[in-house]
Structure 1
Amino acid sequence: MNKQFSQVKIRYNTDSNGQDQCWRLILDGDEVLVESVQIINAPVCTSRDWIESVGKFKHHISVNDCHVQIDTAGAALITAKV
């Protein structure tokens, strides 16, 4: 994957076994699981959302207006939109 997004939220995947697919990327509302987040080269902020299906808040590192590349090993690289 190699695309631009208006909002990316990075959240630990609590369903992970701690070895595989440890991170959830919420890309303009669509979720993708990745092995790791290698680079974040863009302004970030924290955010939280109430997740109705689990009945609790989930916290994120959020990036707006960015480019996301996911390599074949499942590593995400997030950079500011040029």
Structure 2
Amino acid sequence: MPFKILSKYKLEDSGTLYEMDIRAALIARKAFAGNFIILRVNERGERIPLTIADYDRDKGIITIVFQVVGKSTLLLSHQ
């Protein structure tokens, strides 16, 4: 199921650490501290486990933070 990326920010000058806000209402409603998601950049992409860094139940938004360390996270950084 595709989700909409609302924003993406570089968290450092080298461009390998990113913060991304994603509209995912169902996930945001059920999120708790320590939860993670399994994300795929596309249908054939590898499954990437990422911790939910923040969430807003009212707005239906989750925030993830990731570091570019391979092909899949590099693709994610270009979304």
- Length-normalised TM-score, structure 2: 0.32
When you count helix as a share of all residues, which structure comes out higher? Answer: 2
**Greater length-normalized contact order (CA 8 Å, ≥ 6 residues apart):** 1
TM-score after normalising by structure 1: 0.31
